[in-house]
Structure 1
Amino acid sequence: MNQLHLPNYRGKDSGWWSHTVVVYNGRVYDAWTGRAGESIAEFKTNWVKHADIDFPF
């Protein structure tokens, strides 16, 4: 990635340099996923250029 910050998340430019989530039992949780969380695959598709991001999970 040539950008200094993360790409758009859920259709919005957050300007984030990092984003912290919790991964538990194959589901990802953050402030936007709600109580049920999302599958890892679903979570990754919320990012523009998600194939370029090195997700550690």
Structure 2
Amino acid sequence: MRFLMWGAMPLGGLAGGLLGEWLGGYGAFAAGVATLGLSYLAVVTAPRLGRTRSG
């Protein structure tokens, strides 16, 4: 798990730098906020998706 987390950090830094170059500071910040919001939505809805409906 630690390997995956620390290994993803350089990729995130690269993606953040590219977004900062293309969109500017505010655009990169807005993209980060949107990504965090989507990840929160995925965590909240995941338990509901796993349940099956019994008829």
**TM-score range for the pair, normalised by the shorter chain length:** under 0.3
The structure showing larger relative contact order (alpha-carbon pairs under 8 Å, at least 6 residues apart) is 1
Structure number with larger C-alpha Rg: 2
TM-score (ref. length: structure 2) = 0.24
TM-score (ref. length: structure 1) = 0.24
